[in-house]
Structure 1
Amino acid sequence: MLEFKLDEDFEGFLEDFGMPEQQESCSSITLEKFKNKLPERLLEYWQEYGFCSFKQGLFRIVNPSDYEDLLGEWLEPTDIPDNDVYHVFARNAFGDLFLWGEETGYKYKVMVARGWVIEKKGKVKKDHNTAIEYFFGFLDTASHDFKDEAGNVLFESCIKKFGALAPNEMFGFEPSLIVGGEANFDNINKVNIFVHLSILAQFGQIEVLDHDALIRKAFS
């Protein structure tokens, strides 16, 4: 293993998000499983930092193996699996999943609270190492918070009420926004991410949105 060299994009990410928490080392078996499927640079992050959270669970780098079944449930109603093989490589406190395609790179983000699968531009495979560096370099903490109906961010209030998130936990709305629940603090609970997202997938209201469709949703 070569000595790890921190790139400026991930360095900027660490400046914004702080040092890793709840670190779990990445095994050689996992590295071998995802070799040539995910960017080599991402695997180097795994070797250096492991699977870990940032800012009490606001953002988390995850083991894709843990999310394979769940991702299958979310993508099964769509034609997305026909185009590439996708893996969850990161997620946030409100359950949003970030997907990397073996050929297409960062192609989709799943906004689970809304039941939306949002299409991104993606990248050809020869650019994947640069693309994963850019992904982390352009992240900001505010984009991973969630706003209530009045536009107030919720994460800090959730942490004060429920405490930091464990690796298998997220903040979810009960009742779900997908079935008409309201986005307010009183409806948030700390839940098991695998159970909660599996239930949401079973509602059968998953929508795939490109950029234009997302804009229309935002202003509808």
Structure 2
Amino acid sequence: MEEYYEYFLEKLGPASGQREVPLSSLNKYADKLPEQLLKQWREYGWSGYAEGLFWTVNPAEYQELTRAWLHDSGIPDSGFYHTIARSAFGDLYLWHEKTGNWLDVTASYARFHKTQEVVQSDEFDDEIALFFATRDRESNDFDDLFEQALKTLGLLQPDEMYGFVPALALGGPADLKHLQKVKTIEHLTFLSQLAPLTDWGFPDLDSL
């Protein structure tokens, strides 16, 4: 994991806005999330990277939101998914504790993509390492708006994101002028009430 994480840092830069992970959280997720992720939590906390473009997060803070949004969208096993990271624009990365599948949520468009391959439990740590190794700035940005938003609106706090106001689901434009700093959980909860999640329909590369 260490070499993968170092590669991740090379691309996204050092951690900032770190929050120490309490022992209670480590114990809570000991049988739900891979040990390599918990090890990263212990060493680096829940943190922001690339000046707030990408964040590792406390899954418990997102649990109520994601379970309801996934369930109401007809996505099976909503209770087995845990949000482990997000982007500055509220895109969510969820891990399935039983299968090792990923569910990526593009919150602004209420879309998702789910991997289908069942990962063996002894490969879970490798999946986490690969997840971080394949993160980059481009896939977490939204129409190349991040640098402009950072300059115009300022750095995000750990509980903040850049959100479109009015929301895209309400016909708002996807441009800098309509971006605001908003509280992440509150804004995502609002978006979840506007529309159910629908599948992007992308092919699962693991199955090709």
| TM-score (norm: length of structure 2) | 0.92
Tell me whether 197-206 or 161-170 shows the greater mean CA deviation.
Answer: 197-206
Give the Cα separation in 1 of the matches to 2:88 and 2:78: 28
- Code of the residue aligned with 2:172 in structure 1: it is G
Residue equivalent to 2:125:
129
Runs (5+) with no aligned partner, structure 2: none
Give the Cα separation in 1 of the matches to 2:78 and 2:66: 15
Deviation at 1:81, TM superposition (A): 3.9
Indicate whether 1:105 and 2:100 are aligned. Answer: yes
Give the Cα separation in 2 of the matches to 1:119 and 1:71: 14
Give the Cα separation in 1 of the matches to 2:160 and 2:22: 22
Give the Cα separation in 2 of the matches to 1:106 and 1:63: 19
Q: How does 1:111-190 map to 2 (within 5 A)?
A: 111-122=106-117, 123-147=119-143, 153-190=144-181
Of 187, 192, 200, which aligns to 1:209?
200
Deviation at 1:9, TM superposition (A): 1.1
Task: Tell me the percent identity.
Answer: 37
Between structures 1 and 2, the one with greater helix share: 2
Residue equivalent to 2:39:
44
For 1:127-166, what per-residue CA distance to the aligned partner results, in whole angstroms no more than 9, with x for missing partners?
110000000001111111111xxxxx11011011111100
For 1:44-69, what per-residue CA distance to the aligned partner results, in whole angstroms no more than 9, with x for missing partners?
00000001101221000101111111
Tell me whether 204-213 or 102-111 shows the greater mean CA deviation.
Answer: 204-213
| TM-score (norm: length of structure 1) | 0.87
The 3-state SS of whatever aligns with 2:64 is helix
Residue equivalent to 1:57:
52
Deviation at 1:199, TM superposition (A): 0.7
Residue equivalent to 1:3:
none
Deviation at 1:73, TM superposition (A): 2.7
Indicate whether 1:93 and 2:62 are aligned. Answer: no
Aligned Cα RMSD in Å? 1.7
Give the Cα separation in 1 of the matches to 2:78 and 2:89: 27
Of 51, 61, 65, which aligns to 1:66?
61
Runs (5+) with no aligned partner, structure 1: 1-5, 148-152, 214-220
Residues 69, 109 of structure 1: alpha-carbon distance in 2 compared, 3 angstrom cutoff: same
- Code of the residue aligned with 1:73 in structure 2: it is A
Q: Residue 67 of structure 2 contacts residue 78 of structure 2 at CA under 8 Å; is this kept in 1?
A: no
Give the Cα separation in 2 of the matches to 1:50 and 1:126: 24
Provide the aligned length of Structure 1 versus Structure 2.
203
